Amino acid sequence: MNCFQCEAGQMISKLSTLKAEVRGESIAVRCRAMVCSRCGFQVLTDPQSSAYAIASADVYRIKHDLLTTKQLKEIRSNLNMSFREFAKYLKVSEASPKRWEAGLVQDDAMDELIRLKADLPTARENVKQLKSRLRVA
Ligand SMILES: [Zn+2]
């Protein structure tokens, strides 16, 4: 693939430091990008763009002590819930947990609610009730 900018260089996949803006805050993210061998012009492929969104969100989350994508996935997986079940459990739209795991930063109140509801003894009881309600519905 030739560079769109200088039209002479080759675009090569490289680990790069990119800037991102999350909730109005400028952050630096390490992730893969296609970089021109000649002029340094950078573009992201679709998969790189998805990884960049998650990496940017996680830099912000770590800085602000919020659950990361990996932790959110672990919580949902420990509760053995689908996106739909997890969304019902938190009383949010089904799209929300999908968006969080794709790199949209959850708000602070939601982060706290997830932590509280992921507390295992409480969670087990809640899950039992939810599953029986879903079976009835
Ligand atoms: Zn170039």
Tens of each residue's pLDDT in the chain, 137 residues = 899 999 999 999 999 999 999 999 999 999 999 999 999 999 999 999 999 999 999 999 999 999 999 999 999 999 999 999 999 999 999 999 999 999 999 999 999 999 988 877 777 777 788 888 888 76
| Ligand 1 centroid distance, CA of 38 (Å) | 5
| Ligand 1 centroid distance, CA of 16 (Å) | 15
Tell me what pLDDT residue 61 has: 98
Tell which residue, 27, 71, 74, 77, has the closest CA to residue 52: 27
| Ligand 1 centroid distance, CA of 45 (Å) | 16
User: pTM value?
Assistant: 0.80
Buried b (16+ CB within 10 A) or exposed e, 38-67: eeebbebeeebeebbbbbbbbbbbeeeebb
Q: Which domains does the chain carry?
A: 11-63 (3.10.20), 69-136 (no CATH)
| Ligand 1 centroid distance, CA of 114 (Å) | 45
**Beta carbons within 10 angstroms of residue 33's beta carbon:** 22
Spatial separation of the C-alpha atoms in residues 46 and 17, rounded to whole Å = 17
